[in-house]
A and B are shown apart, each in its own frame.
Chain A
Amino acid sequence: MLGEGMLKGLAETAKNFAGSFVSKERMTTVQYPEERIAPIENTRDFPFLVYDGSDAMAGLRCVACQICEKECPPKCIYIVKSTDKKPDFVGKMQIYPTRFDIDISVCMSCQICVEVCPFEAIKMDTEFELSTTDRFGGLLYDREQLSKSNEHYHKIHPTEAAEVDARLAEEKAKAEAKAKAAAEAAAAKAAAAAAAALPKEAPAKEPGA
């Protein structure tokens, strides 16, 4: 019958109209910025550099290996290596980046820099309300602006940060075990060398009875 399809359509729209007053399913508007949806944990927006401890420059995990700079598709990372070395969070001497700039107007949030970093130094932040009125330097983030603490990383990506910490702790434990084993081997070798050297000297030193 002519008009039947239209009446069914009208019924459908009326159902949605009535439903929009009673059910959340039929009224999905979230009035930003007063209301916000809870952010999803895995979301990625722009990169940031992780540092351990409380001093950003001293605890920076980045060792300026420049792998992320090479792999970045739009080439938005610019790194300048240092000429000296400074101790990192665990005390080992590492080179560090004197400049680490990311132009977030070029960055396309692809996360490849995070994937290829061997040192868990660069991770993705979740901040997206970054617009600025300074169109020249406002979106070019330097080393200080990019460094955020490991606590911040735990806050925004708890599962990921926990995994990263576990992995780093494991590596540190392995490194310490290796160092201890090496030290023990060296000490044993030194003791063996000392024991080998000792009997030669003893009879010469011994005074008579």
Chain B
Amino acid sequence: MSQQASFWNNLDQVFVLLQHRIAGYFPVWLQPVVETILAVVGIVAAFPGIFALTTVLERKGLGRMQNRLGPNRVGPLGILQPVADGIKSLTKEDIVPLSADAAVHFLAPVVLVIAVFMGFAVLPIGRNMVLANLDAGLLFFFAIGASTELSIFMAGWSSRNKYSLLGAMRAVAQMISYEVPLLLSSVVAVMITGSLSTVKIVEAQSGFTGIFPHWYVFTPWGFAGFVLFVIAALAETNRSPFDLPEGESELVAGYFTEYSGFKFALFFLGEYLGMFSIAGFAITLFLGGWGAPLSVLEFVPSWAWFFLKLLAAIAFFIWLRGTLPRLRQDQLMNFAWKFMLPMTLLNLVVAGAWRFLGDGWPRWVICSVVLLAAYVLLGRVLMRNQNLGARSYRYAD
């Protein structure tokens, strides 16, 4: 029995044990550096690998939703498609416009990728598996996330192209206006946990009542916060239905018009990695991080749970992309300021009320009812202001 338990325990901590084993070969004063480097290597190996898998899964998933197969010629079931795509993007000619600001043009994708990788530093991928256990991990994550917007502006600016600049400014405006609901919806988790550290937030969700976990998403304010966070995350990473800046039928062709070959691939990589890191953050804040969904399943390694949840989040993003048309820029902004912001502020109040109402069923009922009523009311007001709504049609007699 305990041998079995220790096997599962070892599996859970296998990466940590490996890290310590390798660091053991080095002198003591060098060990922290080696451990950090190994963790970095692990992240740089794992997440681009997931990126490669996601590109194939996205195309195959979209295909299946549209009653067709996705790519299936390169490798079994098309798994090696990213290899083909990578070779293609590496061998393409790298065209830099003559009037472009060469240094900024080169640095923009680099800044994006570096900033996005740094965001992974505070994600707890498993038990004891966080690269940098900062006390202000959340703050660090959002600060780094904001600097990705810098790289988009660099891209648009350096191209010296009126249309690219316009596209970049619109993308940056979109991202900045969705930072506010993103942050506000994550503040509720911080309020209830009482700490900005991502590790503590995950540990606060790791208890169980019976077999059900204490994830924040299973509370009214947590569910609202999760939904709002996901919507804001979609807008932050320019995913459908908020992907007008990079839409194909868009006149202003977007901030990365002037990029080709490997630099374009880097932008693509940066965008997807940003999607993973924000999805990972949503999992950390609301879905219990590396915790198991049922207490009987706790033997499965914690990092496995994290990656499974990440895959589920990615699948959900792909599902949204395949179904929804995209919003226009001004409608996007309207939605951010007139719907998301009031809802997140109300969510803060509700979370506070939750804390002070004490245990028992009244707080469940009150919080749920308040949130639901606000959502329905606000939705109706928003639609009616723009005269939107279902219509009935008459027939000629």
Contact = CB atoms under 8 A, between A and B. Distances in A.
Contacts of B65: 13, 16-17, 20
Contact of B68 (A10, A14, A29): A29
A16 B67 CA distance: 7
Interface residues of A, number: 18
Contacts, number: 47
A1 B67 contact: no
A53 B68 CA distance: 47
Contacts of A13: 65, 319, 322-323
Q: Which of A17, A26, A29 has the most CB of B within 10 A?
A: A17
Nearest to B376: A1
A181 interface: no
A131 interface: no
A32 interface: no
Interface in B50-88: 61, 64-69
B396 interface: no
A83 interface: no
A28 B68 CA distance: 6
Interface SS, B side: helix
Contact of A2 (B61, B67, B69, B382): B382
A32 to B, nearest CB: 12
Nearest to B323: A13
B365 interface: no
Interface string A20-40: 110000111101000000000
B146 interface: no
A6 interface: yes
Contacts of B382: 2
Contact of A14 (B319, B324, B378): B319
Given A9-B324, A13-B322, 10 more contacts: A1-B375, A2-B378, A2-B383, A3-B379, A13-B65, A16-B64, A17-B64, A17-B65, A20-B64, A29-B69
15 contacts: A1-B379, A2-B379, A6-B324, A9-B323, A9-B324, A10-B319, A13-B323, A14-B319, A16-B66, A17-B61, A17-B319, A20-B64, A20-B67, A27-B69, A31-B69
